[in-house]
């Protein structure tokens, strides 16, 4: 049986569908949100509403699980993780209880969704940033709150492999985007936020949108289909056991370029009002995929201009129906 936690969220919901589409017969989907609030709910999966900050719920979730994909976390885009650091750090309860419960249940493989926020922020001050290698997480200077918790959870996974023999696999996600996720609840990330703002401006006949920061910060953005495929590939590559590995695109763009791509899809041209007081994170971040490609002969390859099309179309539908 495959267990996906955080299955009512963005990546988790897509991952459940990924496994079902590939013929998985038993998939258990778990999230703390009430079932009607899940972004996606799949009839072929057993869907449970459980708060995994409670150890007893983790034990229930892990019963009979052969593979565990731990994506449950209280998180969101930069606005959320900068304003709710306590909630982000309390994810340590989930990760501690899930590892122990998976180990006790006899799980064979355990995947943990880490984040590029675990990287040393001192290396991310320049928009013209060098792509981050896995070793760049140390010496540690992770993003406050969310990044430090992810780094500690990585270490816990590694120790469960070394001391208890649970095969753990760790991917550091770099800015995942796509349809069927947060777009207007304060947890949305930059691509969804820009898509929403552009769609709303188009609907309202406005000629300007607000952009957090000054538009020059750089990021790479990974489309959701590359993310789910990468999770599967990493978790079934024994070389990556207990080894954090980047999972992200290496197509580096500025925020201004991201806005321009969304405008092109929407068929509009808008002015930009920069809010430099808003949360905007590090100045530059990109993914070095050398390690990933060396062992898989694969890396995320969906171009941003391509992946933004279904993303914008889905968000525009939500905006028009709001």
- Residue-wise pLDDT for 193-218, tens only, equals 999 999 999 999 999 999 999 999 99
Minimal CA–CA distance to 259: which of 320, 203, 305, 314?
A: 305
Q: What is the pLDDT, as a whole number, of residue 297?
A: 98
Whether 2-176+222-247 shares its CATH topology with 178-219+251-283+303-321 is answered no
| DSSP element (H, E) containing 85 | helix 85-89
Region class of 27: left (phi > 0), else alpha (psi between -120 and 50), else beta: beta
User: Looking at the annotation, which residues are catalytic?
Assistant: 146
Minimal CA–CA distance to 76: which of 192, 167, 250?
A: 192
CATH of 178-219+251-283+303-321 among 3.90.25.10, 2.40.340.10, 3.40.718.10, 3.30.1120.130: 3.90.25.10
Q: What is the pLDDT, as a whole number, of residue 269?
A: 97
Q: What is the pLDDT, as a whole number, of residue 322?
A: 67
Domain coordinates in residue numbering, the chain: 2-176+222-247, 178-219+251-283+303-321
Pairing of strands 218-220, 252-254: antiparallel
- Topology classification of domain 2-176+222-247: Rossmann fold (3.40.50)
Q: What is the pLDDT, as a whole number, of residue 280?
A: 85
Low-confidence ranges of the chain (pLDDT < 70): 322
E-only strand ranges, the chain? 2-5, 27-31, 46-49, 67-70, 109-115, 167-173, 176-177, 208-212, 218-220, 222-223, 245-247, 252-254, 271-275
């Amino acid at each position: 049986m495959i267990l996906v936690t955080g299955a009512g969220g963005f990546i988790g919901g897509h991952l459940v569908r990924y496994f079902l589409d590939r013929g998985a017969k038993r998939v258990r989907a778990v999230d703390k949100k009430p079932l009607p609030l899940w972004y996606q709910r799949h009839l072929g999966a057993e869907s449970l509403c459980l708060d995994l900050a409670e150890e007893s719920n983790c034990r229930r979730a892990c019963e009979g699980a052969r593979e565990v994909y731990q994506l449950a976390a209280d998180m969101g885009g930069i606005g959320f993780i900068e304003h709710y650091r306590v909630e982000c750090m309390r994810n340590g309860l989930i990760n501690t209880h899930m590892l122990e419960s998976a180990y006790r249940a006899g799980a064979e493989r355990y995947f943990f969704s880490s984040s590029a926020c675990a990287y040393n922020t001192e290396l991310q001050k320049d928009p013209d940033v060098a792509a981050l290698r896995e070793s760049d997480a140390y010496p540690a200077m992770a993003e406050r709150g969310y990044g430090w918790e992810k780094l500690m959870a990585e270490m816990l996974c590694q120790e469960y492999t070394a001391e208890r023999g649970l095969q753990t696999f760790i991917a550091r996600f770099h800015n995942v985007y796509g349809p069927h996720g947060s777009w207007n609840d304060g947890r949305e990330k930059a691509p969804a936020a820009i898509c929403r703002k552009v769609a709303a401006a188009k609907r309202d006949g406005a000629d300007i949108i607000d952009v957090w920061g000054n538009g020059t910060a750089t990021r790479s953005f990974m489309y959701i289909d590359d993310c789910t495929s990468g999770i599967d590939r990493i978790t079934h590559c024994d070389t990556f056991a207990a080894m954090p590995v980047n999972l992200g695109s290496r197509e580096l763009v500025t925020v201004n370029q991201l806005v321009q791509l969304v405008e092109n899809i929407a068929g509009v041209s808008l002015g930009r009002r920069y809010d430099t007081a808003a949360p905007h994170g590090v100045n530059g971040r990109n993914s070095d995929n050398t390690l990933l490609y060396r062992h898989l002969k694969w890396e995320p390859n969906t171009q941003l201009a391509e992946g933004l099309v279904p993303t914008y179309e889905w968000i525009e539908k939500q905006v028009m129906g709001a």
